[in-house]
Amino acid sequence: MSAYIRIKDLHKSFHNKGEVNHVLSGIDLEINKGEIYGVVGFSGAGKSTLVRCINRLEEPDSGKVWIGDTEITALNKKQLTLRRQKIGMIFQQFNLFDSMTVSQNIAYSLKLVGTSKKQITAKVDKLLELVGLSDKKNAYPGSLSGGQKQRVGIARALANDPDVLLSDEATSALDPVSTLSILDLLEHINDELGVTIIMITHELEAAKRICKKIAVLENGVITEKGNTRDIFLDPKSNTGKIFLEVYKEFSQENTFTGGGGI
C-alpha cells in the first residue's frame, strides 16, 4: 500500500542577521491513510516547522511533500488555498477569535468558502455534538476552560471535512485531565471520520497513548521511526533514550494505555 502522506528530502532554514539556522535537514517520512502518526522531539527540534511545511504555512527550501496524488510543494497559490481547505490544523494556543461565539468560531472557515447559512448551522451543530460542546454554542472563548477551547479548535479544524488533521502541540497548554480528554477525542475522531492525524508533541505519554507509529526528530533530522512500541522498548536515538527515562519516571505515578501502548 502506497503511503498517503509522503515527505521526501525536505529542507528548511531560517536566516537572521547573516546567520543561517538549518531547522530541517533532509526529512523523509511516509504516513499511511487513517493513521495517527506522532512526531516527537524536544523544543527546537524542528517539529512545528515540519508540520507547517506540510501545508506550506512555511515554504520549504527544497524537497517535496505529497498528500495522496497531489504534490503540495508544486501547487500555485490558488491551488494551495483550495487544497488547504482539506488540511485541518489544531494549534497549541487555540487561536480562537475572542469576540466571536463558539459557533461563530467554528463557522468562520465555512463562511469563507461560501457555505449557505442553513448548511453552516447544521454543520456547526453536528461538530459541537462531536466534540461534546452542544451546550456552549453561544458562549465566548473567555468563559471556557483550556480543554473546552481546544475542543472548539478541533471542531473548527474539522469544519471543511479535512482528510488530514495537523495537531501542533495540541495538549501542551492543558492540564493532565484535559490532555487525556483531548487525546481520547482525537482518537474518537480518527475512528469515526477516518481522518489521518499527524500529532506533533514533546509529551511522550501523549504519543504513547494514541500513536501506533512515531518519528523522533532531533536537531532537524529524523533519528528513528517505526512502531511506537518498538521505539519505546529499545530506543536508538539520544532523544528516544532520554524520552524513555522521563517516561519511566512519569509512569511510576501515572498509567497511560492506548494505541501505541507497551
Report pLDDT digits (tens) over 136-178. Answer: 999 999 999 999 999 999 999 999 999 999 999 999 889 999 9
Mean pLDDT of 126-143: 97
d(CA 220, CA 46): 5
Q: Single out the residue of 212, 199, 252 nearest to residue 41, CA to CA.
A: 199
pLDDT bucket at 258, cuts 50 / 70 / 90: very low
Residue 257 DSSP SS3: coil
Question: What mean pLDDT, rounded, does the chain reach?
Answer: 91
What's the grid cell of residue 166?
Answer: 495537523
pLDDT of 248 over the 80 cut: no
Beginning with the edge strand found earlier in the chain, give each strand of the sheet holding 36-40 in spatial order.
87-90, 164-168, 196-201, 36-40, 213-218, 221-227
Q: What is the 3-state secondary structure (H, E, C) of 154-182?
A: HHHHCCCCCCEEEEECCCCCCCHHHHHHH
pLDDT of residue 256: 46
Percent above pLDDT 70 for the chain = 93
Residue 203 CB neighbour total at 10 angstroms = 21
CA distance 239 to 177: 26
Strand-pairing partners, residue 90, are: 167
Domain coordinates in residue numbering, the chain: 87-161
CB 210, CB 228: distance < 8 Å = no
